């Protein structure tokens, strides 16, 4: 087995991590500024959607890269390997569900969506039940993603104690 992930996987990993932090910041600012500053809140929503599209693209690229790239040594314990695989799969699923459900939520409410203020996304006919379902999926996926990220980071930091391997080195740039 190799000692590290490929450079392309490492770059996509850390870029995705930075964009997730930006997404959380944009969503939090939007909640705080929605009432007092609706124009700024609208800009924040458009930026959030645009970054979501980038994250979706990176997640698809990451899965493709991951399937083609050799993987560093996995945990020696079968239970840890299964847990690691499940967490990674669920992370990818959340990173794909969030942008799609976010788009469906707003598009079904009739919002005009333009990626990076330029590229219009297809409009949907107003559909409140779809918007509510998409909103529920979006909120649930965000919570699950948060929990998975805590597990992922905790496992990476404490892996040396779990099975004696410094897995943080696998993803270091």
**pLDDT of 37-81, one tens digit each?**
778 878 888 999 999 999 999 999 999 998 888 777 676 778 888
Contact 91, 55 (CB under 8 A): no
170 vs 72: CA distance, rounded Å: 7
Q: What is the pLDDT of residue 163?
A: 63
Q: What is the pLDDT of residue 97?
A: 96
Is residue 67 in some structural domain?
A: yes
Is residue 1 in some structural domain?
A: no
Q: What letters, b where the CB count within 10 A reaches 16 and e where it falls short, cover 112-138?
A: ebebeeeeeeeebeeeeebbeebbebb
Q: What letters, b where the CB count within 10 A reaches 16 and e where it falls short, cover 2-21?
A: eeebeeebeebbeebeebbe
> What residue numbers bound the domain in which 34 lies?
7-171
Domain count, the chain: 1
pLDDT averaged per 10 residues in sequence order, the chain, 173 residues: 79 95 92 76 90 96 88 76 90 96 94 92 92 96 96 83 67 71
Is residue 2 in some structural domain?
A: no
Is residue 124 in some structural domain?
A: yes
């Amino acid at each position: 087995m190799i000692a590290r992930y490929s450079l392309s996987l490492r770059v996509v990993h850390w870029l995705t991590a930075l964009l997730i932090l930006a997404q959380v910041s944009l969503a939090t600012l939007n909640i705080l500024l929605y009432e007092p500053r609706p124009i700024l809140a609208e800009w924040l929503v458009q930026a959030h959607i645009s970054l979501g599209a980038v994250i979706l693209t990176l997640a698809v690229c990451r899965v493709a890269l991951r399937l083609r790239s050799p993987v560093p040594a996995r945990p020696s314990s079968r239970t840890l390997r299964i847990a690691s695989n499940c967490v990674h799969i669920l992370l990818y699923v959340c990173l794909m569900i969030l942008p799609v459900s976010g788009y469906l939520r707003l598009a079904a409410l009739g919002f005009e969506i333009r990626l990076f203020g330029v590229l219009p996304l297809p409009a949907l006919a107003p559909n409140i039940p779809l918007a509510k379902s998409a909103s529920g999926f979006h909120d649930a996926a965000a919570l699950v993603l948060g929990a998975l990220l805590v597990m992922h980071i905790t496992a990476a930091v404490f892996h040396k104690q779990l099975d004696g391997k410094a897995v943080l080195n696998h993803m270091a740039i």
